[in-house]
């Protein structure tokens, strides 16, 4: 029988695979948010990041992200809207959306965001790829199933044929039709 193509856990569970059949990195990093601590945008637990992207939950509190007719609320740690626009919205962002109350706190206390940020309303979010550990089958394995690590922090699209060889940490989102908004002006809106 042919060797299975790609990575697998020996004690794999259904929860270890994402919607594209990709193998998910098991919960490493800080414990899931328990309602304590400061919002630290730069350090989102892998499992929580993926969940927040898939279900558009606030990356800080885990509740549904802020949503109005203009779309879900995202805060990107970048000096200016022009910088994000120049980079293009199609590269895929790793920071999940936020709810309005968390966004307003985060921009005041988060060190990353204090250097500059843009708030965006995004009508359409496409989950386009993943970041994680890219591996490959060892061409001359000493043991059956031996693999080697090619890149500990690789980003590839879901359509990339190397997807079976990724141990997926985070999901990347393309923010389609994003428009910049003023967080202060959003204060009067519901979310």
Residues that bind Zn ion (CB under 5 A): 58, 60-61, 99, 102
Beta strand 23-24 with 166-176 is parallel
User: Long-range CB contacts (< 8 A, 24+ apart) of 24-28?
Assistant: 24/50, 24/167, 24/168, 25/132, 25/133, 25/167, 25/168, 25/169
Q: What is the distance between the alpha carbons of residues 132 and 7, in angstroms, rounded to a whole number?
A: 13
Residue 34: CA atoms inside 13 Å, Cβ hemisphere, count? 2
Least distance from Zn ion to the Cβ atom of residue 63, Å: 5
Q: For Zn ion, which is the closer residue by CB, 23 or 103? A: 103
8 A C-beta contact, residue 135 and residue 148: yes
Q: For Zn ion, which is the closer residue by CB, 40 or 136? A: 40
Q: For Zn ion, which is the closer residue by CB, 56 or 167? A: 56
Length of the chain (residues): 191
* First-residue to last-residue Cα distance in the chain: 54
Least distance from Zn ion to the Cβ atom of residue 155, Å: 26
Q: For Zn ion, which is the closer residue by CB, 61 or 137? A: 61
Q: What is the DSSP-derived secondary structure letter of residue 29?
A: S
Residue 4: CA atoms inside 13 Å, Cβ hemisphere, count? 9
Least distance from Zn ion to the Cβ atom of residue 95, Å: 13
Q: For Zn ion, which is the closer residue by CB, 60 or 156? A: 60
Q: For Zn ion, which is the closer residue by CB, 63 or 80? A: 63
């Amino acid at each position: 029988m042919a060797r299975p193509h790609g990575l697998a856990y020996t004690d794999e569970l259904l929860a270890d695979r994402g919607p594209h059949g990709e193998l998910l990195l098991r919960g490493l990093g800080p414990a899931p948010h328990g309602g304590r601590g400061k919002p630290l945008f730069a350090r989102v637990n892998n499992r929580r990041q993926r969940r927040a992207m898939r279900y558009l939950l606030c990356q800080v509190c885990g509740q549904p992200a802020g949503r109005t007719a203009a779309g879900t609320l995202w805060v990107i740690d970048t000096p200016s809207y022009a910088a994000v626009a120049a980079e293009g919205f199609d590269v895929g962002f790793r920071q999940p959306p936020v709810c309005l109350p968390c966004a307003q706190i985060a921009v005041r206390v988060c060190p990353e965001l204090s250097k500059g940020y843009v708030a965006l309303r995004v009508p359409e979010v496409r989950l386009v790829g993943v970041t994680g550990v890219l591996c490959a089958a060892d061409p001359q394995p000493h043991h059956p199933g031996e693999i080697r690590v090619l890149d500990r922090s690789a980003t590839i699209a879901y359509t990339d044929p190397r997807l079976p060889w990724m141990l997926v940490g985070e999901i990347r989102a393309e923010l389609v039709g994003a428009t910049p908004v003023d967080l202060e002006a959003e204060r009067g809106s519901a979310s």
